[in-house]
Amino acid sequence: MTALAGFGPARRSSSSQTSLVWRVDVTLLVATLAVTGLGLLMVYSATRGTGSVPNKSFLDRQMTFAFVGVGLMAVTMLIDYRRLRELAALAYAATIVVLLAVLVLGVRVNGARAWFRIGPFQLQPSEFGKIAVIVALAAFFTIDRATPTARQVLLGLALAGVPSAIIMLQPDLGTVLVYTAFTTVILTVAGVRPRHLLLLALVVVAASAATLQLGVLSEYQVDRLTAFVDQKPTKENVGVFEQQRNAQTAIGNGGMLGTGLFDGDQKNSALVSQKQTDFIFTVVGEELGFAGSAVLVALYGIIVLRIWRVGATAPDLFGTLICAGVLGMTMFQVFESIGMSTGIMPITGIPLPFVSYGGSSILASFLSVGLVENVHMRRFQ
Amino acid sequence: MAMTDDAPRFRLRIIGVISISLFVALVARLWYLQVLNTAESEQLASANIEREVRDPAPRGRILDVNGNILVDNKVVNVVKVDKPVWDAAFPKAKRAERIATITKLAIEISRSGRLTKVAELAKAIDNASSIQEVTLAVDVDRDLVLYLGERPEEFPGVTIDQALVRDYPFGDLAAHVLGYVGRINSSEFASVKDSPKTYAPDDEIGKTGIEKIFEDELRGTPGTSVFQVTSSERVIREITERRVDPKPGHDVWLTIDINLQQLTEQELVDALVQARTQNKRNDTDPDITAPAGAAVVLDPQTGAVRAMASYPTYSPKDFVGGISQSKYDTLTSPGSYSPLTNRATEGQYAPGSTFKPFTAYGAIDKGFMGTGRLPTVDGRAFDDGVFNLAKFDRCTSGKCEFTNSRDGTGKIVTSPDVDLRKSLTVSSDTYYYRIGAEIGLSKNDRAIQTSAETFGLGRVTGVQLPSEASGLIPDKDLKKQRNKANPTAFPFGDWTTGDNINLAVGQGDVLVTPLQLANAYATLANGGHLFAPNIASQVKALDGSVVREFAPRELETINLNPAAREPIIEGLLGVTSWRDPVTDERGTGYKAFNDVRFDLNKWPIASKTGTAEVDKKADTALFIAFGPVPDPAKPNTANAVPTYAMAVVLEQSGFGGANAAPVVADTLNKVFNGRVPKAFSDRVLAACAARTSAQIAAAAARGTTGGTGSTGTTGAKSALGATGAKATPPATSTTSTTTTPPVTTTRVPLLREGESCP
């Protein structure tokens, strides 16, 4: 009954396809598309410039990716997620190979070798890797029904650790943190014993301290963290402070209703670097104010809660874990991206899902929602 | 199936709760930033994105008593270099290109009329911080503007800007009075940091003269423009409602009359040049070099300064846009005799015989005349030219014989029938030696000092000019003090009778400034009103309203003893007018006034010559006069009121009567006859020169239509040349050679309404 639901034989296909379409979580879909639309608006506002002829190139590319993303989401929804268990190992292996390849063949942007240049586009494998690793972890922790043993936990950690380590070499601390976040959520939901979790937490703390001390992190990464922890500008991290102050000033300048769309270059968000990507929330905050920001946060809230609900009603643990992973990923990215713009989190390079300018991020985001919808559509099968 | 296992569901629920709390945290943070914290962040926001630009305010003008503008502002072209662009174009590796460019720039700037050395230019560029715009030359001509404008790639970062600078329509006239402005230095900056007229570190400030003392009035209040800029500092718009317009500074009106000022300066120079032609009496005498001098004209009735000249002088134009180091070095080198010093207020001189009226006043007023060995005021005696101080007169410090000065043949001057009046008229020294000795030996031994101080000598007059010197009236206590403080420089601590004798004739340690002398005589002239001289009369705002007015500042009303004043003035009147028809003996200023045919019957002049001895240098020549004075011998002058007092001091120039008196005689002669030549501003002179040469050219063209074409073209060419050479008299322009480069000055100054040519 479970095996071939989506790609079933022709005799059932038309009716089951129709019924499947009706089972789509419309709320999640609408919230996702709403956030995407808002995102396109913000990218345009952040990049149109002040010339008499607005710069539309960023918008065009982002729109292209959004359409491709929606298509990709539709395709993802069609393939029964349960078939992915079989493909998980292959996808995982491919991810590792591609991540290694990008270290050698990738192009360096903002100091990180994280992108492939494909024609006019740049592709960031670590973004797609998130989905592969989530699926892999979900598959791994559903091999055995029982509570994961210590050995299984370690193996699961290794599964997430290997790609994280490769990404760290790019280096891209932000993405590694995303991996850490969704891995933690998957481990938690998979039923890892509390003492294992506790131990794990201790290890993470110790490892973090060690990385800071041993100088594994780049100087700027340390600066960002110390700037956040000390809240005191020093000669080294003054740039970080400036960025954070500018971002908060811009958001604060939005006030209740915002300064209005489309003249961002005259505004404080113009002083914020990366304002179309990781710091795009500053544009939202300044131009749309608290009202617009709250709407965006609320939309994310709806997305996250729907993902949670799909996870809770999933027909199997695999589906639950996929949703848990996507939830952890989305939640962390939203919280960190908005958090660093508003000054309650340290600065790391993490895109705001569906909103930040960047093809890989938006494609991966749609992929993940596609997966969740996939689980939802098949909750009665 | 997992469905049966509740653990994941439970844990998922925990994750859900965590997620919700994270969202709540985000919304709370947003609420704090955007709603609660708005006031603070709005302020931060505008600070982030607005740029304030200072708009300098024009400085007030300085005008003479008749409203002639002596210091004005003008817009000039300024060559600047944008340091970042320059540095980017000339990295360390391109040293040679850099030097070559600087050299080329120096040549072009020099060619445009601002002599500039390569080394100085290089230093100016190097010393500037890497973000600054450096000013390389101020007030360059249009040729250079065009030249540089056409070659931006040759001179990277070099731009032409416009600036408001000081302009001096009358050239160097009254330079010491007006003073100059210059870039503010750190100590000046510290002193004005609380001024409401905010200063920027590269602002200009008055350095000397009126520019300095009226800095607060002259300086405008800078305005501000607030611009909204992008993060890349590109201006989007001006926030006009935040604009504060600059307020121009106030005009300062002087009591100086520029025509009289010009005449006084000219007379001073002429006298010094004339003095240099004298022959020394003995080869061992110091050279008469006549390097410097000062002249002051006051109105004795109000204390107003009518003219004030100091020589050598300087050109305040040299300070516009910053004076070059080499020029400044020249101005301050010892060989230049301190052209920047205003000798009228800062120069301290032994007054010599010009001090005698004050000795006489003290002696009469304190009742010394007719007592002891002194004759009465009217008592006559033969002046044999020698005064001996006896042992019992406490002649202890070497010099016991004091003599009159010697005449042209080296003979000690003698004079019959000398009374107090004649002692002033012919300047008998022995008469005053006697007074000095008598007073010095009496109980009331400060009588001379007291008299001098009463007339304002030995202390600052309070004129509105900076750095005024106080002069010095020495006495017993001062000599003791000096000796105690510095025994090496002042080996003697006892005030001797000889010191008092020296003081009586204005020698020894006594020092006065030319202004003090003029003011002291003015006080004598006006009957005892000691004024603090005014050189500024009022401060006016741009709309013409009077902001400050300087009424005559009478410091003291001295109840002048008529028994002393009258014979003294009579004696002083004789200096210019008395001549013994039998012996041909004359007042010491007789010749000078006779030479210019001064109508002393109409304008009787009281005056005094002075020839002060200076250690190892030729004598200082002095002459002080005031008038017209009611002369008892001329009944028709009984109602005369002294309206002019003039002091002239010439350093190392010889006799006062021969050298300094002519300055006063000629000046006052022109003043009273209404023949003071009009001073013309440089612009009017240039306009007149242009007009004249145009007329000549037209005349030449008319004259050559008959045939001789060559003279016609020559005339036209030289006429063209004259338009470029400012204030060149047309007479020389016709002889100017054809090698003169083609003049491209396009602006020929035009005469304004009411202006006429010399």
Give the gap in angstroms from C-alpha B82 to the nearest C-alpha of chain A. 25
Residue B594 lies in a domain: yes
Q: Pick from B596, B599, B569, B594: which is nearest to B584 by CA? A: B594
Assess whether pLDDT exceeds 80 at residue A147: no
**Which of residues B235 and B567 earns the better pLDDT score?**
B567
Q: What is the pLDDT of residue B231?
A: 53
- Residues of chain A above pLDDT 90, percent: 15
Same domain, B728 and B668: no
Q: What is the pLDDT of residue B607?
A: 96
Same domain, B239 and B298: no
Question: Is residue B642 very low, low, confident or very high in pLDDT (cuts 50, 70, 90)?
Answer: very high
Most confident residue range from A335-349, B30-44, B392-406: A335-349
DSSP H stretches of helix in A280-380: 280-312, 317-342, 359-377
From B672, B692, B718, give the residue that closes a domain: B672
Question: Is residue A2 very low, low, confident or very high in pLDDT (cuts 50, 70, 90)?
Answer: very low
Residues 6 or more apart whose Cβ sits within 8 Å of residue A246: A268, A271, A272, A282, B48
* Whole-number average pLDDT of chain A: 79
Arithmetic mean of pLDDT, A87-97: 89
Residue B495 is which amino acid? W
Q: Which of A245, A293, A312 sits opposite B12 (nearest CB)?
A: A312
Residue A4 is which amino acid? L
Tokens of B482: 């000096």
Give the gap in angstroms from C-alpha A102 to the nearest C-alpha of chain B. 33
**Which of residues A110 and B370 earns the better pLDDT score?**
B370
Same domain, B581 and B728: no
Give the gap in angstroms from C-alpha A358 to the nearest C-alpha of chain B. 23
Assess whether pLDDT exceeds 90 at residue B749: no
When mean pLDDT is compared across B24-38, B202-216, B365-379, B387-401, the lowest value belongs to B387-401
Tokens of B529: 């009103």
When mean pLDDT is compared across B110-119, B303-312, B391-400, B539-548, the lowest value belongs to B391-400
Residues in A touching B9 (Cβ below 8 Å): 312, 320
Arithmetic mean of pLDDT, B288-310: 96
Same domain, B626 and B654: yes
Q: Pick from B481, B11, B184: which is nearest to A190 by CA? A: B11
Pairwise CB contact (< 8 Å): B34 & A252: yes
Give the gap in angstroms from C-alpha B243 to the nearest C-alpha of chain A. 19
Cα-Cα-Cα-Cα torsion B316, B318, B319, B321, nearest 10 degrees, comes to: 130
Q: What is the ipTM of this complex?
A: 0.85
Assess whether pLDDT exceeds 50 at residue B731: no
Q: What is the pLDDT of residue B236?
A: 63
Q: Which of A189, A249, A324 sits opposite B41 (nearest CB)?
A: A249
Same domain, B186 and B267: no
Question: Is residue B396 very low, low, confident or very high in pLDDT (cuts 50, 70, 90)?
Answer: low
pLDDT tens digit sequence for A272-326: 666 677 788 888 888 888 888 899 999 999 999 999 989 888 888 888 899 999 9
Residues in B touching A353 (Cβ below 8 Å): none
Same domain, B116 and B203: yes
Residues in A touching B5 (Cβ below 8 Å): 145, 191, 317
Same domain, B378 and B457: yes
State which residue of chain A sits closest to B46, comparing Cα positions: A268
- Residues of chain B above pLDDT 70, percent: 88
State which residue of chain B sits closest to A264, comparing Cα positions: B230
Assess whether pLDDT exceeds 80 at residue A132: yes
Q: What is the pLDDT of residue B730?
A: 40
When mean pLDDT is compared across A164-168, B256-260, B341-345, B534-538, the lowest value belongs to A164-168
When mean pLDDT is compared across B39-53, B71-85, B346-360, B440-454, the lowest value belongs to B39-53
Which residue in B22, B30, B44 has the most chain A C-beta atoms within 10 A of its own C-beta, making it the best mutation to test that interface? B30
Same domain, B233 and B125: yes
Pairwise CB contact (< 8 Å): A320 & B40: no
Same domain, B184 and B275: no
Please give the helix or strand (H or E) that residue B47 lies within, else none.
helix B38-49
pLDDT tens digit sequence for B445-474: 899 999 999 999 999 999 999 999 999 999
**What CATH number has the domain bearing residue B174?**
3.90.1310.10
- Residues of chain B above pLDDT 90, percent: 49
From chain B, which residues contact A within 8 Å (Cβ)?
1-3, 5, 7-9, 11-16, 19-20, 22-23, 25-27, 29-31, 33-35, 37-38, 40-42, 44-45, 48-49, 228, 230-231, 236
**Which of residues B684 and A244 earns the better pLDDT score?**
B684
Residues in B touching A324 (Cβ below 8 Å): 8, 12, 15
Q: Which of B12, B22, B48 sits opposite A311 (nearest CB)?
A: B12
Quick one: DSSP state of residue A1? -
From B254, B279, B309, give the residue that closes a domain: B254
Arithmetic mean of pLDDT, B647-674: 95
Number of A–B residue contacts, CB under 8 Å = 141
Residue B43 lies in a domain: no
When mean pLDDT is compared across A259-268, A320-329, B561-570, B745-754, the lowest value belongs to A259-268
Question: Is residue B281 very low, low, confident or very high in pLDDT (cuts 50, 70, 90)?
Answer: confident
Residue B48 lies in a domain: no
Q: What is the pLDDT of residue B393?
A: 63
From B200, B229, B254, give the residue that closes a domain: B254
- What φ, ψ does residue B652 adopt, rounded to 5°? 50, 50
Residue A167 is which amino acid? I
Q: What is the pLDDT of residue B48?
A: 57
Q: Pick from B633, B627, B629: which is nearest to B664 by CA? A: B627
When mean pLDDT is compared across A208-217, B121-130, B148-157, B327-336, the lowest value belongs to A208-217
Q: Which of B2, B38, B230 sits opposite A320 (nearest CB)?
A: B2
Same domain, B249 and B272: no
Q: What is the pLDDT of residue B291?
A: 95
HSE-CB at A55 with a 13 A cutoff on CA atoms is 15
Arithmetic mean of pLDDT, B683-709: 76
Question: Is residue B161 very low, low, confident or very high in pLDDT (cuts 50, 70, 90)?
Answer: confident
Secondary structure of residue B127 in the 3-state scheme: helix
By the 8 A CB rule, do B611 and B655 touch?
yes
When mean pLDDT is compared across A22-26, A331-335, B612-616, the lowest value belongs to A22-26
Pairwise CB contact (< 8 Å): B33 & A246: no
Q: What is the pLDDT of residue B346?
A: 96
**Which of residues B425 and B194 earns the better pLDDT score?**
B425
Same domain, B148 and B296: no
Residue B46 lies in a domain: no
**Residue span of the structural domain in which B713 resides:** 680-758
Question: Is residue B18 very low, low, confident or very high in pLDDT (cuts 50, 70, 90)?
Answer: confident
Q: What is the pLDDT of residue B116?
A: 77
Tokens of B542: 């741009």
Q: What is the pLDDT of residue B397?
A: 58
pLDDT tens digit sequence for B62-112: 999 999 999 999 888 888 887 777 877 887 778 888 888 888 888 888 887
Residue B631 lies in a domain: yes
Arithmetic mean of pLDDT, B215-234: 77
Most confident residue range from B484-488, B736-740, B743-747: B484-488
Tokens of B553: 């500042």
When mean pLDDT is compared across A77-91, B425-439, B610-624, B670-684, the lowest value belongs to A77-91
State which residue of chain A sits closest to B18, comparing Cα positions: A331
Give the gap in angstroms from C-alpha A137 to the nearest C-alpha of chain B. 15
By the 8 A CB rule, do B607 and B589 touch?
yes
Residue A86 is which amino acid? E
**Which of residues B702 and B535 earns the better pLDDT score?**
B535
Residue B455 lies in a domain: yes
Q: Which of B7, B15, B35 sits opposite A256 (nearest CB)?
A: B35
**What CATH number has the domain bearing residue B584?**
3.40.710.10
Q: What is the pLDDT of residue B710?
A: 43
Which residue in A265, A290, A300, A329 has the most chain B C-beta atoms within 10 A of its own C-beta, making it the best mutation to test that interface? A290
Residue B725's CB is within 10 A of a number of other CB atoms, namely 17
Arithmetic mean of pLDDT, B342-366: 96
Residue A34 is which amino acid? A
Q: What is the number of domains present in chain B?
A: 4
Matching residue, tokens 């006489």: B360
Pairing of the two strands B62-63 and B251-254: parallel
Assess whether pLDDT exceeds 80 at residue A31: yes
* Whole-number average pLDDT of chain B: 85
Q: What is the pLDDT of residue A202?
A: 87
Assess whether pLDDT exceeds 80 at residue B726: no
By the 8 A CB rule, do A352 and A337 touch?
yes
Q: Which of B9, B44, B236 sits opposite A312 (nearest CB)?
A: B9
Residues in B touching A330 (Cβ below 8 Å): none
Residue B738 lies in a domain: yes
Assess whether pLDDT exceeds 80 at residue B517: yes
Residue B45 lies in a domain: no
Q: What is the pLDDT of residue B709?
A: 42
Pairwise CB contact (< 8 Å): A270 & B49: yes
Same domain, B153 and B19: no
Quick one: DSSP state of residue B527? T
Could you give the CA distance from residue B473 to residue A146 in angstroms, rounded to a whole number? Answer: 115
